[in-house]
Amino acid sequence: MAKHKTGIKPVLFTNVTISDSFWAPRIKTNREQTIPASYRQCRDTGRIEALKLQWKPGQEPVPHVFWDSDIAKWLEAASYSLAAHPDPELEAQVDGIIDLLEKMQQPDGYLNSHFIAVEPHKRWTNLRDSHEMYCAGHLIEAAVAHFQATGKRSLLNVLCRYADHIAKMFGTGPGQKRGYCGHEEIELALVKLYRATGEEKYLRQAQYFIDERGRQPHYFDDEARARGDDPAKYWAKTHAYTQSHIPVREQTEVTGHAVRGMYLCSAMADLAGELGDESLKAACERIWQHLTTKRMYVTAGIGSSGQNEGYTFDYDLPNETAYAETCAQIGLVFWAHRMLHLDCDSQYADVMERALYNSVISGVSLDGAKFFYENPLASTGQHHRQDWFGCACCPPNLARILASLGNYIYSEGENEAVVHLYVQSSGKLNVGGREVTLTQQTDYPWDGNVRIKVGLKQPQTFALKLRWPGWCSKASGLSVNNEQYRAEMVRGNYLRIEREWIDGDAVELRLGMEIDRVYANPKVRMNCGRVALQRGPMLYCLEGADNGVDLNALALPRDEELKARFDASLLGGVVTLLGQGIRASADGELYSFKRPTPCGVPLKAIPYCVWDNRAPGEMLVWMWEA
């Protein structure tokens, strides 16, 4: 196996302690509120009961084909949480579910509550629509997480048996079906399973799924005919919906269902790294370019349409009807993080950061109890977070990414230590076999000053690489041990400081954090003449609670200088942006030959990610610039 070309790998969240004022409270809320609430929802909606296989025809609710994936993502989140915070009650809940899964497993290794209890005759007959391997993939991720968190092999053994069953069923060998899943997920999960067990067969199985995808004759069509269905009557109309319209290496654009595409690309990036597969890497890079230069919201939301939970056409980024599913952005973080480890290029970290601070964390309320499935960039007040969803992918997906957020901050290599995200935290890195502790002290994302203390047992020469954020174009500075330092800016926009480090060395990075006006390319037709506000990694929005009704009637004058002010009492403590706007009077008729009279009004913007945490009302990211 080839190594990661960059020679760096992520520092696991178990070696990272986050202590900031932004993420730490959210991780605590996730542990104390979201994870228990998700368990209750899984229990109360029958998802846990379904694992007992006692469903009888006519009984409601009918276990759904993707219920196992909700259980799996909860198990994964709970495992991450247990790794950082032992909790006997939570561990008992986890063990209880694992026990049900063990008992559920069929002699041949098969494991799916719907297809065992409800439609046993339909097992593996509709990979296109039935989410069987998708559920398997999430269970594998859960098993790996549980093994790494607790050292227990209970769930891992169950899922190795299931993975072996799947590997026996699907492949190019004699008697095997040449299938793959309509909802990608198992591919990246099998790479994780390979890494956790060292069993190369799982990597090869992931490779098979990636290589087979989109080949002709098309498996989903053959499979439909075998079921007696007409492939031409496929409800989604195109295999681009599942990114299987052509082989993955030939793909150049994001297509179809956004979450599926992100999970696929994550696996492609994994395999590109593990196998040194340049053609997979090149495909990833093409698709990445397309996504980030033509189809991504300024919040890093992706997948603009609810119709296909995915993409429409280039630059079609409607604000009010934006789908931008929370899970899609989480998938984008997964993919960006993997790309970052193929090429230590800050463009990947920039998008990862943009998603995390904006359209991922907007998915959950400050109290951890309510969730957005869609993350629009404008609202007339019709959008509100909900307790749970029939299709409940987002809440446990948020739970697992928050519980493992430490994963995304640091990377370690033979001769280098890399900081991707500035978060007050402490990371224990393994640099050339020795432990290096990096301790960040910062008020990020509210302030751009970051002090990084290097902890070492003995002096060591290595390169400390610090990401230069894409948002930062303003006067900034770097010092080492209080002396100005001219660091080399290496390819990929990382500052590189190579020296012999001594315990207690301190690096200070001062990122000029100003209020920037963001303009969309005029091809984004809905944002012409409009402006968004950004400060550091945070996108801002206007909310009715601060600015009254008819937010579109508010314009930001071109020359207005907004001020940033930290408000400790607002929404958990946020920097607000204050200034004078112009409000067009709504007193007139519906249509008039007279331009509506403008008058000055105070204007207050809050970070996008905390909107809809007060009384329901309007919200607007792209405001009119006058």
Stretch that binds its own copies, among 177-185, 239-247, 265-273, 527-535 (CB under 8 A): 527-535
**Binder of its own copies out of 477, 512, 529, 600 (CB under 8 A):** 529
Residue 253 within binding range of its own copies, rule CB under 8 A: no
Residue 600: count of CB within 10 angstroms of its CB: 11
**Binder of its own copies out of 198, 228, 232, 593 (CB under 8 A):** 593
Report the residue number, 436 or 584, with the smaller CB distance to its own copies.
584
**Binder of its own copies out of 436, 551, 575, 603 (CB under 8 A):** 551
Residue 227 within binding range of its own copies, rule CB under 8 A: no
For 262, the 3-state DSSP assignment is helix
**Angle subtended at Cα 374 by Cα 369 and Cα 377, rounded to the nearest 5 degrees:** 110
Stretch that binds its own copies, among 170-178, 260-268, 515-523, 609-617 (CB under 8 A): 515-523
Stretch that binds its own copies, among 38-46, 140-148, 229-237, 585-593 (CB under 8 A): 585-593
DSSP structure string for 28-93: HHIIIIIHHHHHHHHHHTTHHHHTTT---TT-SSPPPTTHHHHHHHHHHHHHHHHHHS--HHHHHH
Report the residue number, 455 or 579, with the smaller CB distance to its own copies.
579
**Binder of its own copies out of 296, 507, 541, 570 (CB under 8 A):** 296
The strand pairing partners of 598, in sequence order, are 584
**Contacting residues for 565 by C-beta, under 8 A, at least 6 apart:** 575, 576, 577, 578
Residue 235 within binding range of its own copies, rule CB under 8 A: no
- Using the structure block, give the residue that is written with the tokens 């919200």: 619
Kindly state the smallest distance separating residue 522's Cβ from its own copies, in Å. Answer: 3
Report the residue number, 173 or 522, with the smaller CB distance to its own copies.
522
Kindly state the smallest distance separating residue 622's Cβ from its own copies, in Å. Answer: 11
Residue 211 within binding range of its own copies, rule CB under 8 A: no
Spell 233-268 as b/e; 16+ CB within 10 A means b: ebebeebbbbbbbbebbebebbbbbbbbbbbbbbbb
Sign of CA dihedral 545, 609, 325, 114: negative
Report the residue number, 173 or 596, with the smaller CB distance to its own copies.
596
**Binder of its own copies out of 433, 589, 599, 615 (CB under 8 A):** 589
User: Are the CB atoms for 595 and 585 separated by under 8 Å?
Assistant: no
Report the residue number, 235 or 313, with the smaller CB distance to its own copies.
313
Kindly state the smallest distance separating residue 619's Cβ from its own copies, in Å. Answer: 12
Report the residue number, 486 or 594, with the smaller CB distance to its own copies.
594
Among residues 187, 309, 412, 543, which one is catalytic?
A: 309
Q: Please state, in angstroms and as integers, the Cα–Cα distance from residue 389 to each residue in 93, 117, 174, 396, 608, following that order.
A: 22, 23, 42, 11, 22
Residue 293 within binding range of its own copies, rule CB under 8 A: yes
Binding letters toward its own copies, positions 360-389, x by CB under 8 A: --------------------x---------
Among residues 393, 394, 472, 609, which one is catalytic?
A: 393
For 547, the 3-state DSSP assignment is helix
Residue 526 within binding range of its own copies, rule CB under 8 A: yes
Kindly state the smallest distance separating residue 267's Cβ from its own copies, in Å. Answer: 26
Q: How many residues bind its own copies (CB under 8 A)?
A: 45
**Distance between CA atoms of residues 281 and 2, nearest Å:** 13
**Distance between CA atoms of residues 360 and 352, nearest Å:** 10
Distance from first CA to last CA of the chain, Å, rounded? 57
Q: Please state, in angstroms and as integers, the Cα–Cα distance from residue 158 to each residue in 118, 408, 481, following that order.
A: 21, 29, 52
**Binder of its own copies out of 458, 482, 484, 592 (CB under 8 A):** 592
Active site residue 393: yes
Candidates 40, 35, 62; CA nearest to 50 is 62
Report the residue number, 199 or 625, with the smaller CB distance to its own copies.
625
**Distance between CA atoms of residues 270 and 195, nearest Å:** 11
**Angle subtended at Cα 404 by Cα 296 and Cα 334, rounded to the nearest 5 degrees:** 30
The strand pairing partners of 427, in sequence order, are 16, 438
**Angle subtended at Cα 609 by Cα 264 and Cα 325, rounded to the nearest 5 degrees:** 30
Report the residue number, 371 or 622, with the smaller CB distance to its own copies.
622
Kindly state the smallest distance separating residue 593's Cβ from its own copies, in Å. Answer: 5
Kindly state the smallest distance separating residue 587's Cβ from its own copies, in Å. Answer: 9
As a whole number of Å, the CA-based R_g of the chain is 25
Report the residue number, 166 or 555, with the smaller CB distance to its own copies.
555
Kindly state the smallest distance separating residue 60's Cβ from its own copies, in Å. Answer: 17
**Binder of its own copies out of 292, 358, 362, 460 (CB under 8 A):** 292
Active site residue 160: no
Read off the tokens for 589.
């008729």
Report the residue number, 106 or 476, with the smaller CB distance to its own copies.
476
User: Are the CB atoms for 429 and 450 separated by under 8 Å?
Assistant: no
Diameter of the chain by CA atoms? 77
Stretch that binds its own copies, among 123-131, 187-195, 336-344, 552-560 (CB under 8 A): 552-560
**Angle subtended at Cα 74 by Cα 69 and Cα 77, rounded to the nearest 5 degrees:** 125
For 372, the 3-state DSSP assignment is coil
**Binder of its own copies out of 1, 568, 590, 599 (CB under 8 A):** 590
Residue 626 within binding range of its own copies, rule CB under 8 A: yes
Beta strands in 391-433 (DSSP E): 410-413, 416-419, 425-431
Residue 394: count of CB within 10 angstroms of its CB: 26
User: Are the CB atoms for 618 and 380 separated by under 8 Å?
Assistant: yes
**Binder of its own copies out of 586, 600, 602, 616 (CB under 8 A):** 586
**Contacting residues for 590 by C-beta, under 8 A, at least 6 apart:** none
- Using the structure block, give the residue that is written with the tokens 């009888």: 56
**Binder of its own copies out of 504, 596, 602, 616 (CB under 8 A):** 596
Kindly state the smallest distance separating residue 40's Cβ from its own copies, in Å. Answer: 30
Amino acid sitting at position 329: Q
Kindly state the smallest distance separating residue 261's Cβ from its own copies, in Å. Answer: 18
**Distance between CA atoms of residues 522 and 235, nearest Å:** 34
Stretch that binds its own copies, among 24-32, 253-261, 567-575, 580-588 (CB under 8 A): 580-588
Per CB under 8 A, contacts with its own copies among 425-484 are: 473
Report the residue number, 176 or 473, with the smaller CB distance to its own copies.
473
Residues at the site binding its own copies, with contacts judged by CB under 8 A: 292-294, 296, 298, 313, 316, 380, 473, 516-526, 528-530, 534, 550-553, 555, 583-586, 588-596, 624-626
Active-site residue list: 309, 393
